[in-house]
Structure 1
Amino acid sequence: MRLGFIGTGRMGLPMVRRLAEAGHEVRVPGRSAEKRAALAQEDVQVVTDVPGVGTGADAVLVCVYTDDQVREICLDGGLLDEMPDGSLLVVHTTGSPSTAETIAARGAPRGIHVIDSPVSGGPHDIAAGHVTLFVGGADEAVARIRPVLRSYGDPVLHVGPTGAGQRVKLINNALFAAQIGLLSEAVRLGRRLGVDEAALLGALPHGSSASRALAGVASRGSVAAFAQATSDFLRKDVDVVRKVAAELDGDLGSLDDALDALADTAGWEDAGR
């Protein structure tokens, strides 16, 4: 397929490489001479402006850092105007479901289908071709884009209509963050019982309390170290999920207490409330 790709950072660049290796024609923006020079090493076509990646594309994939950047590119930056009628727009950035839904409404008169497909995993998972994708979108649109997503995604999980991918990802990240918060409480309990944190983290992964969060914490040697190492994305996603819950006049229930425990351990001044 003819693809545009916006966001060739730590997550996006290995995606672009996998897409090119799969035989797709990939166009990416390079707005600075430095960026264009770096991208010259890749098997891609480089254009000088962001909307230009959409010209003649069968699909455009967006993998930038924040929800605000997605809105700026897709709603304010002219990308949709450059995309052909009937093309596909995939949003990999974790953000508000309402952003994906708003972009979908904007593209609907021209038959541009929006698929939200936030990622669970890291660059090493993408490079290996087995990053998890939570996909929201119409059945026909998801079926069209699935072979593209399979270039780096496995499993590719279609969880509902546009916006559903973001909802599942936010719940996933809220639960992951809450598990780290619970681990910080478990370490405090261990101290009160006279158990060293290192000994505790060496033992628990072998018991019934084992989890991916625990494995990550144990690999860093302490809850605080893991919380600090993951703060950039965890804090952003916790803020988003709390904002979305507030927009829906809901709350996170008992997850909130665990998220507060994580915020205390990570030293976040604002717990995202």
Structure 2
Amino acid sequence: MSAPISIAFIGLGVMGGPMAGHLARAGHRVTAYNRSPERADKWREIWAAEGLDIAFAPSPADSAPGSDIVFTCVGNDEDLAEVTTGEAGVLASMAPGSLLVDHTTTSADMARSLARSCAARGIGFVDAPVSGGEAGAVNGQLAIMCGGSADDLARARPVMEAYAKAIVHVGAAGAGQTAKMANQMAIAGVLAGLSEAVRLAEAAGLDVDRTYEAISGGAAQSWQMDNRWTTMTKGEFDFGFAVDWMRKDLGYALAEARRLGLAAPVTALVDQFYADVQAAGGGRKDTSALITRLPRRVPEEG
């Protein structure tokens, strides 16, 4: 872990809130900002009960002065532009020599554009999307894929270790976001197959717990199987990474594939399956709710 420094953290969602808390527990001086006052109040109460001294700023720009590193973890390209290069964005008040680390999942173009804006002001930049879901954020076990210069990452790495289990430098600015696209494409494909596997086991009248035990020790094993098989069979989806956010991420991935002249037929198909889940009112459910598209068949007697 690094020596204590001054940090601003913008975006206190299900990922950002726990991450900011880890930074404060590591001894850093943290100033936080969230666009929704209600969510800010929620974290204010949680941290106060824990005895964490985290200040709150009225705007992104007000959080940044004096900060060695500013972290952002918001929703999409437009949200990130608002809190960085917007009228009350952090870049206007960040000092030359400071560092911006973005944990938002965005387009690669957004990351490259923000890197150029930072460089024009003498500010370092790392695009650092994360994987591991809410549980990974809460437990400080996130996988972080990073784009940017080696020097900028070297400054960010010991600070990010407060909530990371793995930090990998993938390449130049935008490379972290492209790696996250690959991550989401892989997850989408696995969940589609897992959904069909669960429904097959149910329709055949198999004991689903025994089926999981039988197949999870072999080549079919995955994080999604280990963490979602049981909840999918129970129809529990009120947790985890929302379908709405997965569709946003898959949209970036499909756009980048088109830019590179690539076909991504499986990703495109699963994206449409998720559109069906959204249309049925499941946009805020966990991504494993993909299984709800497939009706459960009760095995026939005899």
Specify the TM-score bucket, using the shorter chain as the normaliser. Answer: 0.7 to 0.9
1:146 to 157, 166, 172: 157
Of 10, 15, 19, the residue aligned with 2:23 is: 19
1:217 to 205, 225, 228: 228
State the Cα deviation string for residues 114-148 of structure 1 (Å, max 9, x = none).
10111111333233322111111100000011111
Q: Distance in 2 between matches of 1:189 and 1:33?
A: 46
Tell me the residue number matched to 2:104: 93
Q: Aligned equivalents of 1:198 and 1:66: distance in 2?
A: 37
TM-score, reference length from structure 1: 0.85
Instruction: Describe the shift of the 1:91–1:188 C-alpha distance in structure 2 as closer, same or farther (beyond 3 A).
Output: same
Question: Does the 8 A contact of 1:216 with 1:226 survive in 2?
Answer: no
The alpha-carbon distance between structure 1 residues 224 and 99, as it changes in their structure 2 partners (threshold 3 A), is farther
- Letter of the 1:267 counterpart: V
- Aligned residues, how many? 267
> 2 CA distance for matches of 1:228 and 1:156?
25
Report how far residue 87 of structure 1 moved.
1.1
Partner of residue 76 from structure 2, selected from 66, 76, 94: 66
Seen in structure 2, the aligned counterparts of structure 1 residues 263 and 16 have a Cα distance that, compared at 3 Å, is closer
Pair 198,141 (structure 1): closer, same or farther in 2 beyond 3 Å: same
Separation of aligned partners in 2, 1:197 and 1:241 = 37
* Aligned-residue offset at 1:209: 1.1
The answer on 1:5 being equivalent to 2:9 is yes
Equivalent residue in structure 2 for 1:204, among 212, 215, 236: 215
> 1:170 matched to which residue of 2?
181
Query: Match for residue 251 of structure 1?
Result: 263
Asked if structure 2 preserves the Cα contact closer than 8 Å seen for 1:3 and 1:25, the reply is yes
CA distance in 1, matches of 2:10, 2:258: 30
Matched, 1:44 2:54: yes
Deviates more, 1:182-191 or 1:57-66: 182-191
Does residue 1:239 correspond to 2:258, yes or no? no
Runs of 5+ in structure 2 lacking a partner? Answer: 281-302
Cα offset for 1:30?
Answer: 5.8
User: 2:11–2:35: 8 Å Cα contact kept in structure 1?
Assistant: no
Q: Give deviations 1:183-208, integer Å, cap 9, x for gaps.
A: 2343465578x354836445322332
- TM-score normalised to structure 2 length: 0.78
